Amino acid sequence: MSRRILMSGSLPLAAPWNGADKNLAKLLIELDTANQFIIHTSADEKWDDTRGNWFDRSRHTAAMPTARQKLRSFGFLLRHVRSADLLHLVASLERPSPLTGLFIRCAAQIGRVPVVHTIPSVGDGMIERRNFPGDISVVFSEHTRDRLERQGIKNVVRVYPPISEHRLVPSAEPHVVRSRMGLGERPVLCATHYGPASGIAEIIQAFAALPAELDDVVLVLANRTRPGQDRLVEERRMMYVAREVGVEHRLRVLEHVADIPELIRACIVTVLVPGTLASKMDLPLIVLESLALGRPAIVADHPPLCEALLGHAGCAVSYRNITQLAEAIAGIVSDPERAMSLGLQGQRAIREFCDPLRVIDTYQGIYRRATIIRGSVE
């Protein structure tokens, strides 16, 4: 059964593609060839319009969910909800506004349509029922599903995010990238957001604790700023930490990475050890994409992040345990066979759990179930 799905979030599906919510919504639309979508986008964004999708194009598309942009998004819902069979909201809830849930419920009532709410992240804040307007709430980790169900949220479904290996095609071979960027033969990747709980400082300190025979290992920082942060200030802070522990010469700070897949594959291991995920997906894309490209990962052992090591393709270490982190890095970069074995385990797990066709098929079942739930309520 083909449906007309109104796909929405706090921002239009348009550049800059700087958030997990937007990228996930776009991928779900592109992969789902069984349904048609109504999409809020920009005047310049190119979409496949051969499937009967409807594009509501705007000349004003903010990069952050301001109050004005949220009102525009609500206007988009009101204009098109009566033309839809189902509303699919893709929105994380790190800092939820109580008005968002109210707006979605109002739009659903006006259009008399079921609501599926995909929640890449709920953050660490309090769970309030009013912020979950979906007939079905879709989450990416068992930890989050348990949290929501304990707070009385009904119809919570856990799925894995779709990871398409065909979309992760590096432009150059690893040795070429290493040579071009001056990464040496044994680079380690850290790609996260700056901040005091990001884990970046701990990774730098762990580098200082590596054995002497690993003094050629380079730390590659491909980090992003959050709103209100100054990139230069954040970089200086990290370089100060590196200077204090004597590893400043082993850092490579990249301001912009045009091809993340080629950088991931050029490195031996990806390290993500924050104190909190904040707005990052429960299963961060940088970790899943590393596994898909055959690279193991080292993550902090707290949930839901520890669930990202599908197939046990790496190590989980205690947050701020510098000794444990240094041992985990050394154990992988000093043993090429182990690194390759862990990478292969990760690839197999991604193909099993995050296969795009399997994920989209799961969503078809979720859409059917949401329609039944809404019908029984009405």
What single DSSP character describes residue 225? Answer: P
Query: For residues 73 and 71, what is the distance between their CA atoms, to the nearest angstrom?
Result: 5
CB atoms within 10 A of CB 196: 10
Instruction: DSSP for 139-176, please give it.
Output: ES-HHHHHHHHHTT--SEEE-PPP--GGG---SS-HHH
Cβ atoms of 225 and 231 within 8 Å: the answer is yes
Cβ atoms of 164 and 28 within 8 Å: the answer is no
Query: For residues 261 and 264, what is the distance between their CA atoms, to the nearest angstrom?
Result: 5
What domains, with CATH codes, occur in the chain? Answer: 4-162+355-377 (3.40.50.2000), 165-353 (3.40.50.2000)
pLDDT digits (tens, 9 = 90+) for 39-60: 999 988 988 878 889 999 987 7
Q: Above 90 in pLDDT, residue 143?
A: yes
| Confidence (pLDDT) at 50 | 80
CB atoms within 10 A of CB 286: 20
**How does residue 214 score in pLDDT terms, banded at 50, 70 and 90?**
very high
| Confidence (pLDDT) at 199 | 95
pLDDT digits (tens, 9 = 90+) for 291-344: 999 999 999 999 999 999 998 999 999 999 999 999 999 999 999 999 999 999
pLDDT digits (tens, 9 = 90+) for 88-122: 999 998 776 777 888 889 888 999 999 999 999 99
| CB neighbour list of residue 166: distance below 8 Å, 6 or more residues apart | none
Amino acid at 287: V
Cβ atoms of 14 and 45 within 8 Å: the answer is yes
pLDDT digits (tens, 9 = 90+) for 226-259: 878 999 999 999 999 999 999 999 999 998 888 9
Q: Burial, 375: exposed, middle or buried (Cβ in 10 Å; 0-12, 13-18, 19+)?
A: exposed
**How does residue 174 score in pLDDT terms, banded at 50, 70 and 90?**
very high
What is the average pLDDT across 6-19?
86
| Confidence (pLDDT) at 9 | 85
pLDDT digits (tens, 9 = 90+) for 54-85: 999 987 776 677 777 778 888 899 999 999 99
Q: Above 90 in pLDDT, residue 176?
A: yes
